[in-house]
A and B are shown apart, each in its own frame.
Chain A
Amino acid sequence: MSGVLLEAIGLTKRYALPGRLFRKGDRSVVHAVEDVSFQVFEGGTLGLIGESGCGKSTTAKLLLRLENVSAGRIMFAGQEVQNANGRELRAYRSNVQAVFQDPYSSLSPRRRVGDAIAEPLIAAGAMSKAQIAARVAELLEVVGLSGRAATLYPHEFSGGQRQRIAIARGLALQPRLLILDEPVSALDVSIRAQILNLLQDLQERFGLSYLLISHDLDIVAHMCTNVVVMYLGRVVEAGDMSDVRRAPQHPYTQALFSSVLPAHPDRRRERIKLMGPLPSPLDPPSGCVFRTRCPRVQPICAERAPPLIETAAGSRAACHFVAPAESLGVA
């Protein structure tokens, strides 16, 4: 694989909750994203997985610069962008675009499709009206819609077609990275396959990189070259998709993959059950954040947070009990 396009280094986002009346100081802090690092490779697809509230979407917001980081850095094509503003920020934003889950709410019902797609082009301000119209027609063709679509309103399209429109808009400024936040969760099975194929075609055609957020592990395994597993705002495991899928190392990743529904009635897998509820991000457990639900928990887990280490299986995992790469004994 070629070079690194985007790198997150120690990305952290904490939200302070409003202090309580009559009680000074003592403001609660939500640790939404804590020291998260990963790389998105040029032309690759990085999957970001984990359950509701694990910080996936907050991470996406930080990368899109919709939220400011509390700490850490975002490097894009070698440039630090977490504090960029003005022209630099506009340039970054034209390189990093997003497609969200629900095309019913991400497209304005009162705006013609052509205008919705043209919006980023107008905002960028570098094109004439005629150039914009030509670009809109080209984008519609690229996502498999007829040119006539430009004059229609979103409600005249099905869910799958609307997601194509959202993708066309995401591509308008010729970004290098698309952040796909649950891009097919709202779609039916047969339509889902069409959109996933379209995304793969576009990636090949334009050399795009993707950051794919999804709770559907089958879709992540199908689309991604690399994967990051998050739990309670932290990275618990990361690596090549094939390594992590074949031999997940962190107990949480193992539990997650063991809960995937079977592809056939005769294929029953041993389920790894998690104990108890998800802890509050207001008050994360000491040491390893996963310890309150971990089937392999030991006293050390409450004392020290395990670092993310290279494992023998090829991935990196944050657990005191994974076999580290050295123990493999390779020269």
Chain B
Amino acid sequence: MNEAKQPLLEVRDLRVRMRSRDGSGELQVLNGVSFGVDRGQTLGIVGESGCGKSTTALAIMQLLPGSARVNGGTIRFAGEDLLAKTEQDMSRLRGARLSMIFQDPMVALDPLFTVGDQIAEPLRRHMRLSGQQLRERQVSLLQSVNIPSPETRLGQYPHQMSGGMLQRMVGAIAISCNPELLIADEPTTALDPTAQAQFLDLLARLRDAHRLALIVVTHDFGVTARLCDVVLVMYAGTVVECGPVREIFDNPRHPYTQALLAAIPQRERQARLKTIEGQPPDLARLPAGCAFAARCARAVDRCRERAPPSLSVGSHHVAACWRAEDA
């Protein structure tokens, strides 16, 4: 996109390989992912299971599992190359300037410690707070995520709270040290609808209040409609489309994006939903051309022979499809 000014986070041509589950070989789970996100901005990464959206998030945090390694590309954060950092440097960044929220708050929080202890940990570690200052910061954090009677809650354990409240606790921990970048991986998938709406409101408020660069990984276009400025659609480890949220909804150019949007029930009792026949490809046996060609109604010979490059189809809007311009 814009070459002149570098965004806070810039990922270029990121590639990740991972040992397959059966140990028989390596899979290219990310195959050239590029995007940027700036402070105050929200990027949504959308796609189905196995498309590489969570791997992208973990690669940025350098929390990839041991079976995976980055084998190409760069991740620049505030001008610095994250991939060149030592684990020690990264652990100083994580929880401080970079922060992440995971899907299930019951897993993210330790059941044996009070939530107060768990909020105190990054504050002690990164901000060296203690005593009265620590206490005040804990209380104000819980207030900022709308938790009533924070003093009482600090002394409680995770099992004493509802899922929605726990996820807000996780949110409080994630913003505790004033991060610049917050990554939320399916932050509301485990929540009920009313708790989900509440948590998305909270993320929007925190983003605006702290000028966070926010990345939301989701399978739900509704989440991007609510929260995002830019949407990135992934399929089989590649970016198939990326553009401003309204462009993606009103003028999607990649057949996969179009099909995903058409498959969402529209709140009316309709005769039939549009479907995408077949399933995502096996990463161990990726086809030669476009990974989506086998399921694409508009595929031509060229699609099956050569993978399409990312083509500009509008202002800040790209689609990796040979036929994106014919649409």
Contacts and interface: CB of A to CB of B under 8 A. Distances in A.
A205 B220 CA distance: 31
A112 to B, nearest CB: 21
Contacts of B132: none
Interface of A: 51-52, 158-160, 188-194, 196-197, 200, 215, 217-219, 221-225, 241-242, 245, 255-256, 258-267, 271, 273-274, 276-278
Given A189-B48, A192-B263, A267 B225 contact: yes
Interface of B: 48-49, 148, 162-163, 165, 192-198, 200-201, 219-226, 228, 245-246, 249, 259-260, 263-270, 272-277, 279
B275 A193 contact: yes
B194 A222 contact: no
Contacts of B162: 277-278
Contacts of A263: 222, 225, 264, 266-267
B263 A51 contact: no
Contacts of B260: 189-190
Contact of A215 (B48, B165, B192, B198): B192
A190 B263 contact: yes
A190 B221 CA distance: 12
A166 B68 CA distance: 34
A223 B269 contact: yes
B193 A197 contact: no
B188 to A, nearest CB: 9
Contacts of A221: 265, 267-269
Contacts of A245: 267
Contact of B225 (A192, A258, A264, A277): A264
Contacts of B268: 221-222
Given A193-B274, A193-B276, A259-B198, 17 more contacts: A190-B259, A197-B272, A217-B267, A218-B265, A221-B269, A222-B267, A222-B270, A245-B267, A256-B194, A259-B194, A261-B223, A262-B225, A263-B266, A264-B249, A271-B201, A273-B198, A277-B162
A200 B279 contact: no
Nearest to A188: B48
B242 to A, nearest CB: 15
A141 B26 CA distance: 36
Given A261-B226, A262-B222, A189 B192 contact: no
A270 to B, nearest CB: 12
Contacts of A52: 163, 192
A241 B165 contact: no
Contacts of A242: 269
A51 B198 CA distance: 14
A265 B44 CA distance: 13
A160 B279 contact: yes
Of B163, B193, B225, chain A has the most CB atoms within 10 Å of the CB of: B193
The 4 closest A-B pairs by CB, nearest first: A261-B222, A222-B265, A259-B197, A188-B48
Contacts of A196: 265, 273
Contacts of B194: 51, 255-256, 259, 274
A42 to B, nearest CB: 18
B275 A194 contact: yes
Nearest to A186: B49
A277 B165 contact: yes
Given A266-B246, A276-B148, A222 B273 contact: yes
Nearest to A277: B162
Nearest to B262: A193
A267 B250 CA distance: 13
Contacts of A256: 193-194
A158 B277 CA distance: 13
A221 B224 CA distance: 21
Contacts of B221: 189
B300 to A, nearest CB: 22
Contacts of A188: 48-49, 219
Nearest to A257: B193
Contacts of A265: 224-226, 228, 245-246, 249
A260 to B, nearest CB: 7
A215 B263 CA distance: 18
9 contacts: A189-B219, A189-B220, A190-B260, A200-B272, A218-B264, A260-B222, A264-B249, A265-B225, A274-B194
B48 A190 contact: yes
A196 B269 CA distance: 12
A169 to B, nearest CB: 21
Contacts of B201: 271
A180 to B, nearest CB: 15
A197 B275 contact: yes
B273 A193 contact: yes
A197 B263 CA distance: 11
Contacts of A266: 246
Contacts of A267: 225
B43 to A, nearest CB: 14
Nearest to B250: A264
A189 B269 contact: no
A261 B246 contact: no
B197 A271 contact: yes
Contacts of B277: 194
B193 A190 contact: no
A218 B198 contact: no
Contacts of A160: 279
A99 to B, nearest CB: 18
B193 A215 contact: yes
B153 to A, nearest CB: 11
B278 to A, nearest CB: 9
